[in-house]
Amino acid sequence: MKIVTWNINSVRLRAHLVANVLKEWQPDILCLQETKTLDETFPRETFSNLGYVYQHIQGMKSYNGQAILSRLPFDKTSIFDRCGRQDCRHISVTLQGIEVHNLYVPAGGDEPDIKINEKYKHKLDFVDEMTHWFQEHYTKNDKIVALGDFNIAPYEHDVWSHKQLLKVISHTPPETERLAKMKESLNWTDVGRHFVPEDEKLYTWWSYRNRDYKKSNRGRRLDHIWVTDPLKSGLKSFETMPKARDFEKPSDHIPVMIEVNV
């Protein structure tokens, strides 16, 4: 099974880019974040025409929103509200004996201080809630995939400068420590780092603010795919698509794909 995650940053604006990636990679499942559209305006037909007729979506106008597109039928679909909010950050599907959880962790704003930045507090609370929730509802023996835009670059070489970003949201210790606890909750395997050693740079996001992002290469690894132990032995490959950052009017994130024997 090939599974892809991508923060598309407006699916209506970039539906043609999604279609191109689907044609090139031919995944079985594609999980999108930041679709930024209501359910009734989601471009369903664009993707069903390519064979992705099974679609689980939850959207809102202009912000957040998620979708799971599949060539395989769903046995179950779920929508979850997190931190007491209905802001479209967690959906899941069950198929082929596995559960896929699509997550869009809050970005957290600009100031890493919960006393003055409610967005940062929301982010930390969200990760804490997910940690406890996974522990309460599953065991390490369940076949689960958790993926999406986690908005956290956990390791030193997941950012362009570990020292300079320690006080920049996405790489601050309160975030990385919480994500580590979430990873421990079900002994998740971080597939990216399963295939790419931690001492090698690995990015999935480059800011729009950098005019020449390739030259500066100030990237971060914000997009992740995790699997539980029963799926770890079936991992076959991991791939990113850096060229997607060069698409016309691209997302600031790139697609990430794993192949796993389920």
The CA radius of gyration of the chain, in Å to the nearest whole number, is: 17
> CA-to-CA distance for 66 and 11, rounded, in angstroms?
10
Average pLDDT, the chain: 97
Pair 33, 149: CB distance under 8 Å: yes
Domains and CATH numbers, the chain: 2-260 (3.60.10.10)
According to the model, what pLDDT value does residue 211 have? 79
Give percent above pLDDT 90 in the chain. 97
Q: How many CB atoms lie within 10 A of CB 225?
A: 26
Tens-place pLDDT, residues 83-129 = 999 999 999 999 999 999 999 999 999 999 999 999 999 999 999 99
Left, alpha or beta for 235 (phi > 0: left; psi -120 to 50: alpha)?
beta
Strands 76-79 and 189-190: unpaired
Q: How many CB atoms lie within 10 A of CB 159?
A: 24
Tens-place pLDDT, residues 14-37 = 999 999 999 999 999 999 999 999
Tens-place pLDDT, residues 168-193 = 999 999 999 999 999 999 999 999 99
Query: Which residue type sits at 198?
Result: E
State yes or no: pLDDT of 210 exceeds 90: no
User: Three-state SS string across the chain, please?
Assistant: CEEEEEECCCCCCCHHHHHHHHHHHCCCEEEEECCCCCHHHCCHHHHHCCCCCEEEEECCCCCCCEEEEECCCCCEEEECCECCECCCCEEEEEECCEEEEEEECCCCCCCCCCCCCHHHHHHHHHHHHHHHHHHHHCCCCCCEEEEEECCCCCCHHHECCHHHHCCCCCCCHHHHHHHHHHHHHCCCEEHHHHHCCCCCCCCCEECCCCCCHHHHCCEECCEEEEECHHHHCCEEEEEECHHHHHCCCCCCECCEEEEECC
Tens-place pLDDT, residues 39-95 = 999 999 999 999 999 999 999 999 999 999 999 999 999 999 999 999 999 999 999
Task: Please state the pTM of the whole predicted model.
Answer: 0.98
